[in-house]
Amino acid sequence: MVDLTLDEDKTEKIKCMNCNTEIIKYYHEEYKGYRGKCLICKIDFPLD
């Protein structure tokens, strides 16, 4: 299966470097920037 029509969905799929699970991206108000969080490992890291 080949999927070449990914242009509409440009949301970055970032994977956890630890468990390779797709992380969630959220805006951290105190940090004033985007951060990623892995729900499996519970790790949290900056994305900027």
Question: By CB under 5 A, is residue 41 in contact with Zn ion?
Answer: yes
Question: By CB under 5 A, is residue 18 in contact with Zn ion?
Answer: yes
Which of 26, 40, 46, 47 is in the footprint of Zn ion by CB under 5 A? 40
What are the CA-CA distances from residue 8 to residues 4, 5, 27 (Å)?
11, 7, 22
Question: By CB under 5 A, is residue 16 in contact with Zn ion?
Answer: yes
Question: By CB under 5 A, is residue 15 in contact with Zn ion?
Answer: no
Neighbours of 38 (CB within 10 A): 20
Question: By CB under 5 A, is residue 17 in contact with Zn ion?
Answer: no
